[in-house]
Structure 1
Amino acid sequence: MNLSQYTKEFSYNIKLAYPVILGMLGHTLIGIVDNFMVGKLGSTELAAVSLGNSFIFIALSLGIGFSTAITPLVSEANAEQNEKKIRTTFHHGLLLCTVLGVALFILTVLSKQVMYLMHQPKAVADMAAPYIDWVAFSLIPVIIYQGYKQFADGLAETKYSMYAIFMANVVHIFFNYMLIYGIWIFPKLGILGAALGTVISRIMMVVFMDLLMRHNKAFKSYFKNFSFKEIRKSILKKIINLGLPSAMQMLFEVTLFTAAIWLSGSLGKNNQAANQIALILASSTFMVAMGLSVTAMIRVSHTKGMNDYKSLIIIARSIFLLAIILETFFAVIFVLFHKFLPHLFLNMNDSAQIIDNTEIIIITSKLLLVAAVFQISDGIQVVVLGALRGLQDVKIPMYITFVAYWVIGFPISYYLGEYTSLQAVGIWIGLLAGLSSAALFLYIRFARLTRKLVLENHK
């Protein structure tokens, strides 16, 4: 194996991936800002925002998963230099994202009652309900934005979504600050202020994205003459056939992590706090793998459009290798600093919290050792999934992810968490088992599929 054929692809991979990574961190920042500003109001408010966001997050993962269908279709059409196909995919994709955004908004508002069935404290659930109504409305602009983003990604223009998210973050911080605390002419709305800040910033995110793209000559021609007369059932069906399994793949993973949060909650607040800290750290490094996953989807679908399957395998493997190197680097950091990192999230000067904080640090430091290993599995499974989406292979990977997360991962999490002394660490060993089996099976699927494509192409 000649390593240089893979490493020479690294610089272009990073060039495509870094705006996606920064854009994803921008998305995450919206949630962090909400938590930080609302945290100053009190623990009930913070719990309400946390609970509300867990509902929004599940709906958002469905929307983002579905919208990823647009990228491989646009990228393939771009390789074929078929402008009409690119334009059609963009218009149909945007229409479907708008419809899906409205549907997810309605479903999220209707599903609020589940909070009361989950035995959440009544004060928290009552406060979370109006928060969910408003933030659920922001799903409409955020999923329309995904339609724009995935289209731009398909043309290998990954920077625009990053600019739009950064500008949206500035708007978000301004309105949050004004509306939560009632500064200047603004009313003091508490956690509803945080919800409104999110809605306004997400509407502006679409506005920024539209303006940035409409006034760019690379995209200009695709914005002309949008007409419902041009909408074709066959193209809608093609996007839905790719989008639905992709949405389900994302849902299976997100719900597994949400289940881990609920399981930790049943073990007590210190286990839940430790789980939360470890999850924030693991999610931040996962953004890097997500960026590389989008890169895999763009580059694999583009090379597929050129019918060059040998190059496709080299490009895909170069991205897998880069993901393994970067995630191993993060794993080493987690191992070296597993006792220090939890301190960053806790108020160590509060004498009343000393006993709780000590326990949280002990649990989190153990979780970070498990997270160090699952960084690598998580990185591999998400980049291979991106490459398979680039090949427009989504149905079998959907079944693979379901089995890995819910037939293998969750039962292990549940058993070790509830019935052994491992508790939170046991829950995370289950996550590790699920992610590792997903990484293994998805890679086998990719290797088989590409081998078959190379052989067919040689006939």
Structure 2
Amino acid sequence: MTYGGHTRAIALLGLPLIGGHLAQFAIGLTDTVMLGWYGVEALAAVTLAGSYFFVLFLFGAGFGWAVMPMVAAAAAEGDETSIRRATRMGLWLSLLYSVVTMPLLWWSYPILRAMGQEVQVAEMAATYLRVAGWGLFPALIVMVLKSYLAALERTQIILWITVAAAVVNALTNYALIFGNWGAPELGVIGAAIASVVTNGVSMVAVMIYAVQVLPEHNLFQNFWRPDWEMFARVFRLGVPIGLTTLSEISMFAASAVMMGWLGEVPLAAHGIALQLASATFMVHLGLSNAATIRAGNAYGRRDRAHLARGGVVVTAMSLVMSALTIVLFLTWAEPLISLFMENDDPQRPQILAIGVGLLAMAALFQLVDGAQVIALGLLRGVQDTNIPMIMAALSYWVVGIPASYLLGFHYGWNGIGVWAGLVLGLACAAVMLMIRFWMSVINRVGAPAVPRHGVSRG
């Protein structure tokens, strides 16, 4: 396939995935905007609670992400039995993980206090998590089934289900946060209920689609039967993916904790800037998912040339998006931040002043953030996860978090310093992961020594 052919194929596959990620992001954005209207304290609490929740959610999502390259490779080989087995055991692992994790969400208050958060903000965040935590079960089920459908290149349905979920979330938030349409005014609890309802609606919709449109896979027939061999394979692939994601998201969560040490206003500004940076990251994440699927197909066929050309194209597409985002963040910072606040909010000038500086730093890490997630997507496609996990952990925890602390507090750069540390951590990951893919892994695809299934041990 030519480079033009790869561009068209990635666009057709990736655009619905990007749209789906943006719709998923809109769910969190709705919470941020509406809680920002409700009050700065509520916004700060849910910013903190959201970071805590997503640390746990994204580690568990590793099992869902593991399903994507496994199903893509099996589909390329025409192995429908492996498609069913991998997806079913991904669901098993996600449900088991949710049960184990629920106590951390229910009893989050002492953990938040141990992290140095203010009493009132920690109490409100813990209240949110006791309710929103129940959404972990349907959220992880949805993650697995979306990966299954994406790997089969059924990305349009993922987009529409996620758009519908975003609408449900917005309407439920509007009713329950503010007490509109005869509903009680519940504030942060209303936002938490809306989150659970949204995840539940998404789960029902995606399960109905999978059963009705793809009955040949019989995903839920004899669901209770264990498949320990496939369980172990999904586990071995999913845990490194989850730990890699955990390393990155916990770096951002640690940055939220550090911003919390600086006070309520810097934490609120951090939440707004992070939402804006996350919106543009959804484009890179959608391209990364497309890279995983395309690389998984090439891996299943042992087509090294296809893998290399696809890697070049998806990386170039990410770089173009990064350039556009840098221009946007540097020229439209104040109008973008203003979207999240009421004009008469007394803390508006302070939040704007801090937020503009943070968004300038977010512009700096667009290139490296996009590059590292594209590299991860390509590596996952060829089921290489263990060495990338170590590279990511070193980048985020040995470079990123210490740099954030030193620059933010030791050198007195405050919020700008915390975000500068994020840039350094992401840059380190981008360089190492790109070298890993282009200098090492790609040369092994098609070679007899590479196993057809399982995780490459590096």
TM-score in terms of structure 1 length: 0.91
- Structure with higher RCO (Cα < 8 A, 6+ apart): 2
Q: Which amino acid is the alignment partner of residue 323 of structure 2?
A: T
Write the distance in 2 (CA, Å) between the matches of 1:269 and 1:122: 12
Write the distance in 2 (CA, Å) between the matches of 1:373 and 1:39: 26
Write the distance in 2 (CA, Å) between the matches of 1:205 and 1:49: 22
CA contact (8 A) 2:330 2:363 kept: yes
CA contact (8 A) 2:277 2:362 kept: yes
CA contact (8 A) 1:413 1:431 kept: yes
Aligned to 1:253: 248
Write the distance in 1 (CA, Å) between the matches of 2:271 and 2:184: 32
Aligned to 1:29: 26
CA contact (8 A) 2:74 2:300 kept: yes
Q: Which amino acid is the alignment partner of residue 382 of structure 1?
A: V
- Tell me how far 1:444 sits from its aligned partner: 0.8
Alignment partner of 1:395 is 2:386: yes
CA contact (8 A) 1:52 1:128 kept: yes
CA contact (8 A) 1:21 1:291 kept: yes
Q: Of 277, 289, 298, which residue of structure 1 is paired with 2:293? A: 298
**Residues 183-202 of structure 1: pairs in structure 2 closer than 5 A:** 183=180, 186-202=183-199
Structure 1 residues 322, 420: closer, same or farther in 2, change over 3 A?
Answer: same
Structure 1 residues 381, 268: closer, same or farther in 2, change over 3 A?
Answer: same
Write the distance in 1 (CA, Å) between the matches of 2:212 and 2:318: 34
Q: Relative to structure 2, which stretch is displaced further, 114-123 or 339-348?
A: 339-348
CA contact (8 A) 1:309 1:450 kept: no
Alignment partner of 1:9 is 2:23: no
Write the distance in 2 (CA, Å) between the matches of 1:344 and 1:40: 10
Q: Of 393, 413, 417, which residue of structure 1 is paired with 2:404? A: 413
- Tell me how far 1:77 sits from its aligned partner: 0.5
State the SS of the aligned residue for 1:398: helix
Structure 1 residues 447, 136: closer, same or farther in 2, change over 3 A?
Answer: same
Aligned to 1:56: 53
Q: Which amino acid is the alignment partner of residue 447 of structure 1?
A: W
- Tell me how far 1:106 sits from its aligned partner: 3.0
Percent of aligned pairs with the same amino acid: 34
- Tell me how far 1:433 sits from its aligned partner: 1.0
Q: Relative to structure 2, which stretch is displaced further, 110-119 or 290-299?
A: 110-119
Q: Of 292, 316, 329, which residue of structure 2 is paired with 1:334? A: 329
Q: Which amino acid is the alignment partner of residue 151 of structure 1?
A: Y
Write the distance in 2 (CA, Å) between the matches of 1:255 and 1:80: 37
**Residues 195-210 of structure 1: pairs in structure 2 closer than 5 A:** 195-210=192-207
Q: Relative to structure 2, which stretch is displaced further, 190-199 or 118-127?
A: 118-127
Write the distance in 1 (CA, Å) between the matches of 2:218 and 2:387: 35
Q: Of 272, 275, 280, which residue of structure 2 is paired with 1:280? A: 275
CA contact (8 A) 1:301 1:390 kept: yes
Structure 1 residues 105, 164: closer, same or farther in 2, change over 3 A?
Answer: farther
Write the distance in 2 (CA, Å) between the matches of 1:451 and 1:208: 38
Report how many aligned residue pairs link the two structures: 450
Aligned to 1:370: 361
CA contact (8 A) 1:91 1:226 kept: no
- Tell me how far 1:134 sits from its aligned partner: 1.1
Aligned to 1:385: 376
Q: Which amino acid is the alignment partner of residue 419 of structure 2?
A: W
Encode CA deviations 1:327-371: one digit per residue, 9 max, x unaligned. 122112223334554344444555x44xx61x5444433333332
Structure 1 residues 199, 366: closer, same or farther in 2, change over 3 A?
Answer: closer
Q: Which amino acid is the alignment partner of residue 280 of structure 2?
A: T
TM-score in terms of structure 2 length: 0.91
CA contact (8 A) 2:84 2:219 kept: no
Aligned to 1:235: 230
Alignment partner of 1:324 is 2:315: no
Aligned to 1:174: 171
Aligned to 2:453: none
Write the distance in 1 (CA, Å) between the matches of 2:358 and 2:125: 29
